[in-house]
Amino acid sequence: MFSKSCEYAIRAVIIICQNTQDGHKSNLHEISEKADVPAQYIAKLLQKLVHADLIQSSKGPGGGFFIKPESKVRLIDIVKVVDGDSIFTACGLGLKQCNAKNPCPLHYHFLNVRTDLKKMLENTMIHELSEQLKDNVFVLNNK
C-alpha cells in the first residue's frame, strides 16, 4: 500500500520518537539498525522529514535526530511527505480518468477504502505508536 520509502520513514520516525521520549537523540546508525534499513537510504528520508519540519536534527557531539516535545506528528504527515497524497485520490486500477462520472469497476469500493485509510492515518499519532512499541505491543523488525 505504501512505498518502501514510506514504510522505512514511518519506522524511523517511531524510533526517533521513542528515543526522544527516553531523553536522547537518535543517530543514523542506531535508526538504521533498529529499523532494519540501510543507513544511506534512511539518511535521505530523514533529510526530507527534517526539511518538512516533522523531525529535527542537531550536529556535533550529542547530536542526532529528535522530535520536539510539543510535536503532534501523525502518520498522514509522514505519508504525504514521502509518498504524496495520490494514495487518497488515485484510481484503484491505475486509470487516469477514473471518477464518479467515469468510474472503474473498483471505484466505489476503493473510495471507501481510501476514506477509511485517510481517517486512520489522520487519527494515528506517532507518539502513540512509540508508546505501544515501548510496551512491547508491536515490533519494528523481525530480528
DSSP annotation of 31 reads H
Decide if 28 contacts 46 (C-beta within 8 A): yes
Confidence of residue 79 (pLDDT cuts 50, 70, 90): very high
**CA–CA separation, 79 vs 7, rounded Å?**
9
Average pLDDT estimate for 97-109? 91
DSSP, collapsed to helix, strand or coil, labels residue 64 as strand
Q: Measured over all CA atoms, what is the biggest interatomic distance in the chain, rounded to whole angstroms?
A: 59
Domains of the chain: 4-134 (1.10.10.10)
Residues in a beta bridge with 56: 66
Is pLDDT at 138 greater than 80 in this prediction?
A: no
